[in-house]
A and B are shown apart, each in its own frame.
Chain A
Amino acid sequence: DQQVKQNSPSLSVQEGRISILNCDYTNSMFDYFLWYKKYPAEGPTFLISISSIKDKNEDGRFTVFLNKSAKHLSLHIVPSQPGDSAVYFCAARNFGNEKLTFGTGTRLTIIP
């Protein structure tokens, strides 16, 4: 039972355009959501997070949107840069539980 799903294994975007990565979840107890970026042979790097009491959080070029009724979140990167090429993981946690539940990742390729 995959509680966090990233249905797009890969995504290609032109440099300078907007990248939109999507994530769906099934567990309504999740109350904290995170996005991580991962380069080959490195660990996941924290990008941005959002609490369930919010519907949007921005940090520079990165914005995360949360739609609780649809159990859906998305990460927007604008403008996309070549260094953004990586695998992006969506993850979720519920209060009082240390476990992060991860999606399977989306490989983003930025085309120069």
Chain B
Amino acid sequence: NAGVTQTPKFQVLKTGQSMTLQCAQDMNHEYMSWYRQDPGMGLRLIHYSVGAGITDQGEVPNGYNVSRSTTEDFPLRLLSAAPSQTSVYFCASRTGGGNQPQHFGDGTRLSIL
């Protein structure tokens, strides 16, 4: 039962560097999304996708790009990392069709120096 798999688990970047956080799910879920969790706050939506080729912005999209070329994968790109992007990032997926819960990966802990 792989579910939602995120890589890497930890990453340290310097300001201005770019990187891609990987997310893959093996449940054939149509919907995928990225959240970030900061201390003392709930998770906040960055970007989401309702199917291959379709993406949209969430609550805090600035500084991040996404694409969805396959049902299974939904990578999150930081083009020029900033210290404010230090956070824990969670990927989630769910099946479509009404009230279905999101299922989360174990997260990527990202530090920007």
User: Which chain A residues have a beta carbon within 8 Å of chain B's beta carbons?
Assistant: 4, 31-32, 34, 36, 41-46, 49, 51, 89, 91, 98-105
Contact = CB atoms under 8 A, between A and B. Distances in A.
Interface of B: 4, 6, 31, 33, 35, 40-45, 48, 50, 56, 58-59, 90, 92, 99, 101-107
Contacts, number: 58
30 contacts: A41-B107, A42-B106, A42-B107, A43-B4, A43-B104, A43-B105, A43-B106, A43-B107, A44-B43, A44-B90, A46-B101, A46-B102, A46-B104, A49-B99, A89-B42, A89-B43, A91-B42, A91-B43, A98-B48, A99-B45, A99-B58, A99-B59, A100-B33, A100-B43, A100-B45, A100-B92, A102-B42, A103-B42, A104-B42, A105-B42
